[in-house]
Structures are given as C-alpha cells and as structure tokens.
Amino acid sequence: MPANLTPEYKQAEQAYRLARQPREQLECLKEMLRVIPKHKGTERLQADIKSRIRELTLESAGHGKAAHRGPSHAVHPEGAAQLCLIGPPGAGKSSLHAQLTGSRSEVGPYPHPTQLPIPAMLPFEDIAFQLVDLPPVSVEFMQPGLTDLLRVTDGVLLVVDLSAPDCTEQLVLILQRLAEARIILSERWPGQASSPGASEEPAPADPFSVQLPTLLLANKTDLASPEDAAVLEDLLGVRFPALATSATRGRGLAAIGPFLFSALGVVRVYTKAPGKPVDQNRPFTMRRGDTVLDVALRVHPDLARTFKFARIWGSGKFSGQQVGADHPVADADVVELHA
C-alpha cells in the first residue's frame, strides 16, 4: 500500500535527516510521528519512528544500547572530513592507516585484529582528513557499536585484499551486512557531477538509512598475480570509484588525498579581518556550493547573525569585490567578513 506522505511529513523528515544532536533528533522524530498520515500504508514507518524514539530516549537517560556495548565507538570528527576504513579481517586497513597517517595502528598478522576505532590525520596540502581505522567486518561478526559511528561519518574507504581468492564474495557479504544495519555504501560523492544520463538521485525511501560515499581500495596489489587483474576489473565493476594500492610498497597511496579533496568537493577559504593580513595557515574547509554566509557561520554564529557584507579575493569578479551573504565561495578564496 502506498504511504502517500504529506509535504508536512516530508518536511519533518528532512529536519530529522539534518539533525545531528540526539535531543534535536528526538524532537524531530516526535514531530514526524505527530504529522504522519495514520493509515495502513504507514504502519511500518510509524513503528520505525517509535522504536527510534525509544532508543534515543533510553540512550539519553544513560542506559540502552550504549550501556552494554562496552567502550564507546564515538570519534570526535576533525579536519576537512571523516572517513572510515572498512573491510574484512586482514585486508590491510591498519597497514594503510599507518602508512597514510603515520599512526601506530596495530598491524599484525591475522589473528590480531583491530579492536577499537583509531582516528589519525591524513595530511593533504594545507588541510587534513581524519581517517578512522576500524575493527573488521566479516560474515560472522560486526561490532554493534560500529553502525553508530558509520551513521555520522562523511565517507568510507572500503579495503579489500586483492590477493584473496574470495575477495569479491567478501565484498558482497560486507555490503549485505551493512545494508542490514541500514548503511548503504554509495558510489556517489557529493563533489562529483553524476555521470551523464544518470537519473537524479531519488531520496532514499527509508529515513533511517544512510548513504555513505565510498572509495574502494584494492589492496595487496604486490601479491596479486596477472589473473588477479581480472578480479580487479571485476571489483571496479562493482561500481565504486577505486584505486589499486599496496600498503607495504606504498603504491597508490598518493592518489587518496587528491581523490578525497575533489570527490568531497572541498573548498578552502582563507579569512582575514578588515585591515589585517590574511590568515594563510588555517583555511576553513567548506564544501562546493557553500556561501559567504556559511563561512561566517563557521567563524562564529554571532558573525552570521550580524553579517552585513564581505569582500572577496579570488572568485569575485575583481579583487576585493563586495559581495552579499549568498555569494558562493570557491577554493582558495580570501574572504573578509564585515558585520
């Protein structure tokens, strides 16, 4: 039976998708429940909303899932974006993490799997991405706390061992496992134009599922034989953008930072106070499509409230051009905010 959701409901659902804090999410869920059309076609969705409300209420009261999950999996995001390394046991996640970030993430011959998320920074030019090394995901087991972390992350580096004969099957099983937890790994990255002829992305029907942009890392290419090249082709056909890597030889690693920068649509904005020199050291990392007002909001909420105009060097028509709140920023712009 069709759900026939009303614009009012869709608006409430959109607010929920944007909410990041549990309290805010809870308010949004209650609103969704209040306005959802009550008929047979929405019964499943009503039940989902109620159970999410129950979960959040229990969690905010200090018990619920989080309490019997042992150590928290929450990782405070830092840098231009947070990316999680996901893959089967022994694929080389920790080795790649150590090579890319200089972390001492425990690398061990199987069976010494990573136990807890380990964040560290991957530098790229004058910014950095946060890479989170994670425990493995396998057919037998995925730590339940992982899904909470994945729900709020910006993207995934999906690592597979190209030399493993069953690497394609492993990949399929991991995707299934995550989909059961309503985490959908997607080939779409926010900064990339969709391929020509591709239809507009339909809004996911399930408000409790998340879509994470995913880069496939086909690792251990140093062990792979020529026949494995065919497997790589196969993997590439899995639809994700992909890079061939070797953590031990360092192969393919230099391409990861540039890929993330471009695929996430990162835009660096350098701010200056009126009459002062530009702060060249610490760009604000925005996203393509963000405006001067978004920059003001990032610098300080008060500045966004009292914002009058900005001067901009870079994407403006001429240097120091005066622009309004909705002027979109471009990479390497210098922005002087006036309030």
Binding site for Mg ion (CB under 5 A): 93-94, 114
Instruction: Choose from ligand GTP, Mg ion, none: what does 89 bind? Cβ within 5-8 Å by kind.
Output: ligand GTP
CA dist., res. 117 & res. 134, Å (int): 5
For the CB of residue 85, give the shortest distance to ligand GTP in the complex, in Å.
8
| Burial label, 198 (beta-carbon count in 10 A; 0-12, 13-18, 19+) | exposed
Instruction: Choose from Mg ion, ligand GTP, none: what does 223 bind? Cβ within 5-8 Å by kind.
Output: ligand GTP
Select from 219, 264, 212 the least CA-distant residue to 242. Answer: 219
Scored b (16 or more CB within 10 A) or e, 37-57 reads eeeeebeebeebbeebbebbe
CA dist., res. 247 & res. 258, Å (int): 17
Number of Cβ within a 10 Å radius of residue 221 = 21
For the CB of residue 86, give the shortest distance to ligand GTP in the complex, in Å.
10
> In the chain, where does DSSP find H-type helix?
7-18, 22-35, 43-60, 93-101, 145-151, 167-180, 226-236, 256-263, 292-299, 301-305
3-class DSSP assignment, residue 85:
strand
| CB-nearer residue toward ligand GTP: 95 or 271 | 95
For the CB of residue 160, give the shortest distance to ligand GTP in the complex, in Å.
10
Are the C-beta atoms of residues 118 and 103 closer than 8 Å to each other?
yes
Residues of this chain that bind ligand GTP (CB under 6 A) = 87, 89-95, 107-110, 113-114, 136, 219-220, 222-223, 246-248
For the CB of residue 96, give the shortest distance to ligand GTP in the complex, in Å.
7
| CB-nearer residue toward ligand GTP: 90 or 145 | 90
| CB-nearer residue toward ligand GTP: 90 or 117 | 90
Instruction: Choose from Mg ion, ligand GTP, none: what does 95 bind? Cβ within 5-8 Å by kind.
Output: ligand GTP
For the CB of residue 183, give the shortest distance to Mg ion in the complex, in Å.
19
Instruction: Choose from Mg ion, ligand GTP, none: what does 318 bind? Cβ within 5-8 Å by kind.
Output: none
**Dihedrals phi, psi of 192, to nearest 5 degrees:** -105, 135
| CB-nearer residue toward ligand GTP: 158 or 286 | 158
| CB-nearer residue toward Mg ion: 132 or 269 | 132
